Structure 1
Amino acid sequence: MMADPKKDSPSDREPVPQDRLSAKQYEKALTRLHIELVKLQEWVIHTGAKVCIIFEGRDGAGKGGTIKAITDRVSPRVFRVVALPAPTDREKTQMYVQRYLPHLPAAGEIVIFDRSWYNRAGVERVMGFCTKEQVETFLKDVPMVEHAISDSGVILLKYWLEVSQKEQTRRLEARIKDQRKVWKLSKMDLLSYSRWYDYSRARDDMFHATDTDFAPWYVAQSNNKRRVRLNIIHHLLSSIPYQPLPRERVKLPKRQKPGNYREPDHTFRFIPDVF
């Protein structure tokens, strides 16, 4: 069932003001969620489940920080993050979604796409990297692709992070001023920043064509970074039917005795204590 973009468009709703979430409250809640993510990881490995999570949104919406919060305490061999670069000349001649398909999860894996095949519906459309016909073909075909992905046993979750104009401006300006964040700001980010309503139209068309019963879009208001991270992690945990597995109590074994071992008579190159 398709969503009605006119009835339920994120642009039509102002974020509801929320009480400030302190760092202590955030860390406490995040710790509880991290414990559950570890349980999810164990369940995925044990059952051979396949999970694919897609994150989309404007530049500065908070995708990277949310993904980092999800993956901070789990194994990168189970939680794989995929952030593909621009397509090569060869990839440009392939079926559009072809270069994404090899990255889909196998049994016992959770794959997180930091931007995905929906680049065609977003940045490629807005920046003129593809034709109108190519976008229309993509929006018509992608529900069939996602239906096939779901039919193969993959749990597919799609998240759109919605940030306001004011907050996006604040975050991008912070990237300009902070030397630790300058790498996050590209010429493409600056160009896309100026095309807010082109992105809004692209987003609305994308929702209308690809918000389906088997692969719905979930919109998360992301003006508050701490809250959106917690809310998304809670939602994805509630969307996957994982069960905690029984664990044996772990106890460290005794270390062996040194026997005839002696520390070598050697001068090691220790790094200096600077801090």
Structure 2
Amino acid sequence: MDTDETSRAVELEIDGKKRVFDIDDPKLPDWVDDHAFTSGDYPYKKKLNKHEYKDTLEALQIELVKVQTWLGETGKRVISVFEGRDAAGKGGSIGATRAYMNPRSARIVALPKPTETERGQWYYQRYVDHFPTSGEFVMFDRSWYNRAGVEPVMGFCTPEQHAQFLEETPNFERMPVKAGIHLFKFWLNIGREMQLERFHDRRHSKLKAWKLSPMDIASLNKWDDYTQMRDLMLKETHTEHAPWTVVRANDKRRARINVIRTILNELPYAGKDKGAIGDIDDDIVGMGVEALRS
């Protein structure tokens, strides 16, 4: 529902109620503000204490430096895929992971839309080109899983291409794993009101405005479509050799800590300090689509 020809106000149905959300209105609606943090059945009522977060994160980042040393000495390789809805916190989680690692061998891959040449290639080809060489840790800020979410929802691929992707991806991912690459796949999950709050924050921040794209605006009333594609993706591509780790991410602090803990727990690096790593929060982290059905 548009209020006039220039307004970007949209009518949304949330929990059976009709809501109007105008991202250009500088005042965040109370129905968003009041429910954002606990939306999506988030198990906590407030953010992790700032000082606890900083101390815990620093200890984990020290462990990540050890990981990078181990990678350099052994030639091992790591791929970490970060997926989630728009504004789920992918970039922040990547930033916290890479903050004190040497950028020469800890790379971030965030690809733009494919070129005409890339559209004519094998679908996975442009992603494989960025896979790690000996000693590298590569983080994908979105990945080949564009074809499981954004593309089918927004009409950028055919239903046949989408179905083919879901069928072929488990076998595709088996190849780097069999070659010895450690592969992590993270789905950062946020509630609907939390996404709206973050979109609104981006729209009205001079520092973050670049993060809000026309695609984000177009997706406002496609929440259910994205949910359907997310669940199908997790169901079809969660495998023993390449499992999905689902992280509830309404609180960015808890999400970042648990992402890093997951990586550290799985890697057999030298000098691992299990006490510094701490325990995974089972209220935040789960595996596969079943993690979203609690």
TM-score for both structures, normalised by structure 1: 0.83
For 2:242, the equivalent position in structure 1 comes to 215
Q: In structure 2, what is the Cα distance between the partners aligned to 1:98 and 1:142?
A: 13
For 2:137, the equivalent position in structure 1 comes to 110
Query: Of 175, 187, 191, which aligns to 2:214?
Result: 187
User: What amino acid is aligned across from residue 127 of structure 1 in structure 2?
Assistant: M
Alignment pair present for 1:43 and 2:74: no
Aligned-pair distance for 1:173? 0.3
Q: In structure 1, what is the Cα distance between the partners aligned to 2:245 and 2:252?
A: 17
CA contact (8 A) 1:59 1:193 kept: no
Counterpart mapping for 1:1-275 below 5 A:
14-18=41-45, 20-244=47-271
User: What amino acid is aligned across from residue 110 of structure 1 in structure 2?
Assistant: F
Aligned-pair distance for 1:18? 4.8
Q: In structure 1, what is the Cα distance between the partners aligned to 2:244 and 2:96?
A: 20
Q: In structure 2, what is the Cα distance between the partners aligned to 1:203 and 1:42?
A: 35
CA contact (8 A) 2:47 2:253 kept: no
Q: In structure 2, what is the Cα distance between the partners aligned to 1:202 and 1:21?
A: 31
User: What amino acid is aligned across from residue 221 of structure 1 in structure 2?
Assistant: R
Q: In structure 1, what is the Cα distance between the partners aligned to 2:45 and 2:134?
A: 40
- Give the secondary-structure state (helix, strand or coil) at the position aligned to 1:96: coil
Aligned-pair distance for 1:19? 5.1
- Give the secondary-structure state (helix, strand or coil) at the position aligned to 2:82: strand
CA deviations over 1:161-197 (Å, ceiling 9, x no partner)? 0000011111000001111110000001111232101
CA deviations over 1:82-134 (Å, ceiling 9, x no partner)? 00000000100111001100101111001000000000011011100000000
Aligned-pair distance for 1:13? 6.4
- Give the secondary-structure state (helix, strand or coil) at the position aligned to 2:132: coil
**CA-atom RMSD in angstroms:** 1.3
Q: In structure 1, what is the Cα distance between the partners aligned to 2:93 and 2:221?
A: 24
Q: In structure 1, what is the Cα distance between the partners aligned to 2:47 and 2:207?
A: 25
The gaps in structure 1 that reach 5 residues or longer are: 1-11, 246-275
Q: In structure 2, what is the Cα distance between the partners aligned to 1:154 and 1:49?
A: 7
Aligned-pair distance for 1:223? 0.2
With CA pairs under 8 Å and 6+ residues apart, which has the higher RCO, 1 or 2?
A: 1
User: What amino acid is aligned across from residue 146 of structure 2 in structure 1?
Assistant: N
- Give the secondary-structure state (helix, strand or coil) at the position aligned to 1:80: strand
CA contact (8 A) 2:77 2:136 kept: yes
User: What amino acid is aligned across from residue 220 of structure 1 in structure 2?
Assistant: V
Aligned-pair distance for 1:77? 1.1
For 2:3, the equivalent position in structure 1 comes to none
Q: In structure 1, what is the Cα distance between the partners aligned to 2:263 and 2:144?
A: 20
Aligned-pair distance for 1:20? 3.5
